[in-house]
Amino acid sequence: MAIKLRSPSVFILGAGRPYRGSHPSALHHTPGNRRVLDWIMNAFTSVLPVEFHYIGGVHVEEVIQQYPHIQFSINPRWQDTGSTASLLIGLDAPDTTCFVCYSDIVFRPQLVAQMQ
């Protein structure tokens, strides 16, 4: 029996209230009309095949509507819990390689390449 190896997972933590405005930080537009989540996804997919898993809370339905092709988990207690609780909600296969990032930080593929 062959074992199917899973692609690395990227857990994007976006459950908390945004620093500015009322929409999730992942949906904020950056110069060039790209969203923060587009930058994050591009940074990883430019370097390696990954599965994205967004863990949301406040206004998560907006992110689900814009990115229906990625996996989602919802932290219903996002107001009372922190990032670690959100991450634990999303973890489903602790034996796979995973990367964790916040949904409001933009970075480039070179950073992902250095983390491999």
Please write the tens of the pLDDT for every residue from 64-107.
999 999 999 999 998 888 888 888 887 766 667 889 999 999 99
DSSP 4: P
DSSP 8: P
Mean pLDDT along residues 41-55: 95
Q: Are 55 and 15 in contact (CB under 8 A)?
A: yes
pLDDT confidence tier of residue 1, bands split at 50, 70 and 90 = very low
**In this predicted model, what pLDDT tens digit does every residue of 4-24 receive, in sequence order?**
457 889 999 998 887 788 889
Give the per-residue pLDDT at 52: 95
